[in-house]
Structure 1
Amino acid sequence: MLVDTAAPPGTRWCIKWNHSVAKFTVLDCYQNVAGTMQLERSHQPDFAAGLGHTIGRGEQVSDGKGGYWINAINEPVANNRYALRVGSTDVDHRVVWQYDEHYNEVSLSAHASGQRVILQIIQAAPPSVN
């Protein structure tokens, strides 16, 4: 297991990665909505190969720096399981989140480059009483 952290309803996190052609950073951001993982929004600094906004899927707004956010995507992730083929260290797929005012970042590429990983929300096991 690469990352195991509490993510109660309302928790947000992003997959941060470097575009393999344009070399800029992209963010795909998720939220736990009542136990369901949803793609909430995405940040893209440019309209590069494979990126862009699809009409009817969220709302595109300027980030004020030449890029844009696609907000209000709000698409549930099937079965709360997002499969990702982790890119090389140049792509540097990372999971980023904030918890109690602390910024956290784990590089998936440093640990699982070229491998398939699953990001998922699971129900916490109830405390056991013996």
Structure 2
Amino acid sequence: NADDKIIQHNGYGHVNINGFYAENFGKLYRSCGTCGNIKRTVALNHVWGYNPKVSLVTVNANNGDVATFTDDIHVHTSKGANAVCQTTSSTNGKEPKVTSKGPSKNCVFNKNKIEFY
């Protein structure tokens, strides 16, 4: 259980999330939205998310962040693809605003290959 983020990515680089289960959380992964203009990437494989309050992943579109969902993704939610990934616009210290939800060039996944239950 986590009220907000489980994994917060503040620096440069890439994160792999493989074989992970999360339940009753805000976001499994969050690319920092107030840490400046830094590109980050994340790949998810064999991930189960039960009852995400926001989404499995939130990335910053204006920084060029990319989240790639590869194989075996399961989400227990009534929000459908909106609960898989969302993008925000990063800021310099202010709370970022959501710019999109669901598949996009920054949130790479096929909603037909994700198991919703």
TM norm. shorter chain > 0.5:
no
Q: Structure 2-normalised TM-score?
A: 0.27
Structure ranking higher in strand proportion? 2
TM-score (norm 1): 0.25
> Computing the radius of gyration over CA atoms, which structure comes out larger, 1 or 2?
1
